[in-house]
Amino acid sequence: MARNWPVVLLCAALLVGLALPLATGASPPGFYVEVLLGGLMTGVLYSLVAMGFALIFKASGVFNFAQGAMVLFAALAVARLAERMPLWAAILLGIVVMIALAFVIERVVLRPLVNQEGIALFMATLGVTFFLDGFGQTVWGSDIYKIDLGIAKEPVMVLQGLFQGGILINKEDVAAALVAVALVAVLALFFQKTATGRALRAVADDHQAAQSIGIPLNRMWVIVWSVAGIVALVAGVIWGSRLGVQFSVSLVALKALPVVILGGLTSVTGAIVGGLIIGVGEKMAEVFLGPVLVKTFDLAGGGIENWFAYVLALLFLLVRPQGLFGEKHIDRV
């Protein structure tokens, strides 16, 4: 406990910051809860993308910069395919596309680079990012597309008795959160209960040991990249139905990077918790801290959510370099 005082201090400071708007009466409680929920919803999406990162990093030691590009690619695929067929068929076909992509990436990029340093692999995924951005827009087109999930978009008023004016909730957001929870549950079952999942966890623990007891490393990589591709597809579809499918989706997905380092690179739990922390943190900062900053420093508009996630993650890293749920790393010479 004593050694953890900086973490405790930081968490306390964040909690105080979180409570400040409510305590000072700067916002009515109903509005505050609305912002909080909005943040949580964004956080769920960040968690989804971040989970893809964490899965791949855990199983193959690759820091996959291309996860954002994969989200965009999957969303584009589903959006364009859905123009020609029912949505469920488009999603199924999209999953097939993502699995094919995993095969190609494993064969073309990962296999030749096996045993390379993490940095070389990271840069290779940078190349994959470039390629997927160009390739996706060549194949699927580069306009803004819509994904219609068939859920009503008008907000619903709830808890009118508890708060003055009630709270506006978007049905679609609730559905998205439910899908995310379901996905996490399925993944947890997959990792804990199936033979493949067990093999994946073995690979994550120790590549060489896993290989020596006969786990095929290459096939495991294809599987984990496929799973990451499917997670990317889910994130892309949800995101696409909220904001429209366009190039900026891949930039928003970059937010998943601070999420994973905050949560700890190797931890799926960390990705989920980190996503929620960052989602709530940046929404709160944008709504409540932003106007204060604008007024104090005479800024030309807010937009601090563009960098707040990174600063938050950096603060955590300074007090806890392995992230919230990451394993402590010990270097040996």
Partner 1 sequence: MFYRENGQFKSSYAADQQLLPILQDRVFMVALVAFAFVVVPLVVSDYVFLSLLIPFLILALAAIGLNLVVGYCGQISIGHAAFMAVGAYAAYNLVLRIPQLNFLIVLVLAGLVAAAVGMLFGIPSLRIKGLYLAVATLGAQFFMDWLFARVKWFTNYAHSGSVQTAPVELFGWSIDSPQEKYVFLLAVLILFTVIARNLVRGHIGRAWMAMRDMDVAAEVIGIRPVYAKLSAFAVSSFFVGVAGALWGFVHLGSWEPAAFNLTLSLNLLFMIIIGGMGSILGSFFGAAFIVVLPIVLNQLPQFLGIPMSTAMISHLEFMIFGALIVFFLIVEPHGLARLWAIGKEKLRLWPFPH
Point out which residues bind partner 1 (CB under 8 A): 63, 108-109, 112-113, 116, 118-120, 122-124, 126-135, 137-138, 142, 251, 254, 257-258, 261, 265, 297-304, 306-307, 310-311, 313-314, 317-318, 321, 331-333
**Separation of alpha carbons 225 and 217, rounded Å:** 12
Nearer to partner 1, 133 or 172 (CB): 133
Least CB distance to partner 1 at residue 225 (A): 15
Helix (H) or strand (E) holding 140: helix 118-140
Residues 6+ apart with CB under 8 A from 116: none
Which one, of 207, 323, 302, 201, lies nearest residue 257 by Cα? 323
* DSSP 8-class letter at 300: S
Helix (H) or strand (E) holding 169: strand 167-170
Nearer to partner 1, 183 or 319 (CB): 319
* DSSP 8-class letter at 328: P
Nearer to partner 1, 88 or 297 (CB): 297
Least CB distance to partner 1 at residue 80 (A): 15
Least CB distance to partner 1 at residue 119 (A): 6
**Separation of alpha carbons 38 and 285, rounded Å:** 12
Nearer to partner 1, 176 or 245 (CB): 245
Nearer to partner 1, 110 or 238 (CB): 110
Q: In whole angstroms, what separates CA 216 from the centre of its chain? A: 28
Least CB distance to partner 1 at residue 97 (A): 17
Least CB distance to partner 1 at residue 181 (A): 26
For residues 87-115, one letter each, b for 16 or more C-beta atoms within 10 angstroms of the residue's C-beta and e for the rest, the string is: eeebbebbbebbbebbeebbeebbeeeee
For residues 291-319, one letter each, b for 16 or more C-beta atoms within 10 angstroms of the residue's C-beta and e for the rest, the string is: eeeeeeeeeeebebbeebbbebbeebeee
Nearer to partner 1, 70 or 257 (CB): 257
Beta-strand runs (E) in 10-50? none
Least CB distance to partner 1 at residue 217 (A): 18
Nearer to partner 1, 182 or 299 (CB): 299
Least CB distance to partner 1 at residue 227 (A): 20
